[in-house]
């Protein structure tokens, strides 16, 4: 796999499992005006370090994190945000790609919540690893 292939696999997995009634913004998507009375999310994929795992034949483990920013309307409590957090974790926790070259560990970061101008924001991430051959 490559970093680009990792991204495609992660985005495909997320979009195929996510509730299609909740808008998703991917990295570098055009700016959109969102309904202030409905939730939406932003998905960000951040590759991290790449460590060699062999001597000779160059093979690597690419580590990274997938972040989700969950935006829910202000002053409506935290249940909706918590439910969407659980949905995100369920999509990736323990998942492996069909070729077994990309996988997610079980741990998700602690959600960080804060109010913004128009939204209650929750940011959460989960780690992944991918087997790469140079």
CATH of 3-29+37-133 given 1.10.490.10, 3.50.50.100, 3.30.390.10, 3.30.2000.20: 3.30.2000.20
Q: Does pLDDT of 107 surpass 80? A: no
Decide if 117 contacts 106 (C-beta within 8 A).
no
What does the mean pLDDT of the chain come to?
90
pLDDT band for 31, please (50, 70, 90 cuts): confident
The continuous run of DSSP H or E covering 81 comes out as helix 79-92
How far is CA 78 from its chain centroid?
Answer: 20
Q: Domain locations in the chain?
A: 3-29+37-133
User: Which pTM does this prediction carry?
Assistant: 0.90
Residue 114 has pLDDT above 80, yes or no: no
Q: Please tell me the predicted confidence (pLDDT) of residue 131.
A: 93
Sign of the alpha-carbon dihedral angle for 89, 94, 96, 101: positive
pLDDT digits (tens, 9 = 90+) for 79-100: 999 999 999 999 999 999 999 9
Residue 67 in tokens: 């972040």
120 vs 19: which has the higher pLDDT: 19
């Amino acid at each position: 796999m490559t970093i680009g292939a990792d991204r495609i696999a992660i985005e495909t997995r997320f979009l195929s499992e996510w509730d299609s009634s909740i808008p998703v913004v991917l990295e570098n998507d055009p700016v959109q005006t969102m309904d202030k009375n409905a939730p939406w999310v932003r998905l960000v994929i951040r590759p991290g370090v790449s460590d060699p795992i062999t001597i000779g034949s160059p093979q690597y483990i690419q580590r990274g994190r997938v972040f989700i920013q969950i935006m829910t309307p202000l002053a409506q409590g935290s249940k909706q945000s918590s439910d969407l957090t659980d949905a995100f974790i369920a999509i990736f926790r323990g998942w492996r790609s069909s070729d077994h070259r990309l996988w997610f560990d079980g741990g998700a970061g602690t959600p960080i919540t804060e109010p913004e101008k128009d939204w209650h924001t929750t940011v959460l991430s989960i780690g992944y690893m991918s087997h790469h051959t140079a």
